[in-house]
Amino acid sequence: MSYTSVVHCLGWAVILLAALMILPALTALLDGDTALAWTFLASSVLSGFCGAGFALSTWHGVGDFGKREGFMFLVLIWLVLALFGAIPLHFSGLPGRPIDAFFEAISGLTTTGATVFEGLETMPPAILLWRALLQWAGGLLSVVLAVSLISHLGIGGMEAYQSALPRGEGANLPTRMLQTAQDLFWIYVLLTLFGAVALWATGMSAFDGLCHAFAALSTGGFSTRDGGIASFDNPAIELVLMAIMLLGAMNFTLHWAAFNGRFRAFRENAEIIYLTLTVTVLVFGVIILVLLEEADQGFIGPFRTGVFTAISALTTTGFSNADMAPGGGAAMVLAPILIVGLALVGGASGSTTGGMRLMRVAVLFKQAQRELLRLSHPHGIRLLRLGKVRVENPVVWSVWSFFFLLILVLAAVALALAFFGLAPEAAVAAAVLSISNAGPFLQAVAPGAPSYADMPDGAKLVLSFAMLAGRVELLALLSLMNPAYWRR
């Protein structure tokens, strides 16, 4: 095990996070809040100093970066960045306690969107920007790790992942991650700017548009208003947000292919077909639900709410254009179990979404179909394919292992939350939404659940673990708990 290689890569990641802190520092300075500007600047210097220390102290001791180092890096990078990302939040004095600052930071980085902050309208713009930047950076990091590291490690059936980027088989893992980040960074930035301009053009302020573009493309869900998207009450804004969320739910290597004129990659990617079919079924499903619902609200209002909520749930963003209180529009149009199911499915592999991902769900369905056909033709040979790609049996077993472990972890997290005082319905809802990285839907799924700010510290720690587990892939996290991992 080359610990120095892992520490070296973590050091560079912390340096990049420290550089990102300069943006909210400048925002606070322009806003006239000198004290908050110094808080972010001091946090940037402290984080940069620690990151440089990690990187320079291991400069000459960097060894091989293989699969075992990859598993450790995949887990530690989220924890380390969350700890440093919480520093300016804590010293700003707004969250109140260190656990709240850490919860907010890891929720942002893992693009979960669960927040302990209240009174967002009166919060300093620098804090709102930092929350948005955390989830924007977390979205980019999740894409880079999925494309360059997770697919290479073959975690949870990711061997079947279809990337439009050049594979670079001869490169080591750090080089592969750096090259992937370079290829996707500017595309990520351009899509973000496109979303921010579109939101500004449809009625948001420039600042709100930028923050919500960060949140929508990263499918994070942090808003600048306590009421979320419902506070704007603008159908044009909701249309733009749905488009951005769907861009975030797509395999980002396909965006790279489009920018390079390789549109054929879209036809060759099976998950694009699954995503298109799913969204189409959702739209028609909402139409049927609205027509069957005997309500005085007419058709347009419930349809608008239902479609927006469905796409927000599928992309695990958590935005809502309806009141999340009991009896709100989101709960009337879409049943809580449907919101939970969509969040568990998630978007495409290589996207910023959480959940199982469409590729794994497709493998589970196709394997179930193959088993049913085998009952009629016991000696028949049935190949499992995703589009034109053949899926081998070890990949199928890996997906089933992932699904089994997901159910076990969901049950364990729900039991732990119930132990800390949450009602059973709230405990199950919070567990599912945290592991699916769709935290803002808690009140829609379990209207009687307490806010994240009102939960006990033990519950916040459990939910932080659940967010981490949902983002890093369960098998990678559990591998570090296996004694055999440390013996070799």
The first and second tokens of residue 475, run together, are: 């098998």
pLDDT per residue over 397-424, tens digit each?
A: 888 888 888 999 999 999 999 999 999 9
> Which pLDDT does position 140 carry in this prediction?
95
- For the stretch 310-327, what's the b/e string if a residue is b when 16 or more beta carbons lie within 10 angstroms of its beta carbon? bbbbbbbbbbbbbbbeee
Residue 445 backbone phi and psi in degrees, to 5: -85, -40
pLDDT per residue over 204-218, tens digit each?
A: 999 999 999 999 999
pLDDT per residue over 266-303, tens digit each?
A: 888 888 999 999 999 999 999 888 888 756 667 888 88
> Which pLDDT does position 331 carry in this prediction?
45
**If pLDDT is split at 50, 70 and 90, which confidence band does 329 have?**
very low
Contact at 8 Å (CB) between 218 and 244? no
**Residue 468: exposure state from Cβ atoms within 10 A (0-12, 13-18, ≥19):** buried
Q: Is 131 helix (H, G, I), strand (E, B) or coil?
A: helix
**If pLDDT is split at 50, 70 and 90, which confidence band does 105 have?**
very high
Does position 328 have pLDDT exceeding 50, yes or no? Answer: no
Does position 472 have pLDDT exceeding 50, yes or no? Answer: yes
> Which pLDDT does position 291 carry in this prediction?
83
> Which pLDDT does position 340 carry in this prediction?
92
**If pLDDT is split at 50, 70 and 90, which confidence band does 61 have?**
low
Task: Give the least confident one: 35-49, 165-179, 275-289.
Answer: 165-179
Alpha helix positions (H), 218-357: 235-248, 252-259, 264-268, 270-292, 300-314, 329-333, 336-345
Location of structure tokens 């499903």: 285
pTM, 2 dp: 0.92
pLDDT per residue over 446-471, tens digit each?
A: 888 899 999 999 999 999 999 999 88
- For the stretch 285-294, what's the b/e string if a residue is b when 16 or more beta carbons lie within 10 angstroms of its beta carbon? ebeebbeeee
The first and second tokens of residue 309, run together, are: 């909520």
Q: Which of 242, 248, 250 is nearest to 321 (CA)?
A: 242
Does position 170 have pLDDT exceeding 70, yes or no? Answer: no
CA atoms within 13 A on the CB side of 74: 34
Contact at 8 Å (CB) between 221 and 215? yes
pLDDT average, residue stretch 251-255: 92
Does position 238 have pLDDT exceeding 90, yes or no? Answer: yes
Does position 53 have pLDDT exceeding 80, yes or no? Answer: yes
**If pLDDT is split at 50, 70 and 90, which confidence band does 326 have?**
very low
Q: For residue 344, give every residue at least 6 positions away whose Cβ sits within 8 Å of its Cβ, in sequence order, or none.
A: 355, 356, 432, 436
Task: Give the least confident one: 7-11, 99-103, 128-132, 480-484.
Answer: 480-484
The first and second tokens of residue 391, run together, are: 């899926």
Location of structure tokens 């749930």: 313
**If pLDDT is split at 50, 70 and 90, which confidence band does 110 have?**
very high
State which of 69-78, 379-388, 460-469 shows the largest mean pLDDT.
460-469
Does position 250 have pLDDT exceeding 50, yes or no? Answer: yes
**If pLDDT is split at 50, 70 and 90, which confidence band does 128 have?**
very high
The DSSP bridge partners found for residue 385 are 390
Euclidean distance between CA atoms 136 and 109, whole angstroms? 8
Mean pLDDT of the chain: 87
Contact at 8 Å (CB) between 275 and 318? no
- H or E element that contains 251: none
**If pLDDT is split at 50, 70 and 90, which confidence band does 343 have?**
very high
DSSP calls for 18-53: HHHTHHHHHHHHHTT-HHHHHHHHHHHHHHHHHHHH
pLDDT per residue over 89-99, tens digit each?
A: 999 888 778 99
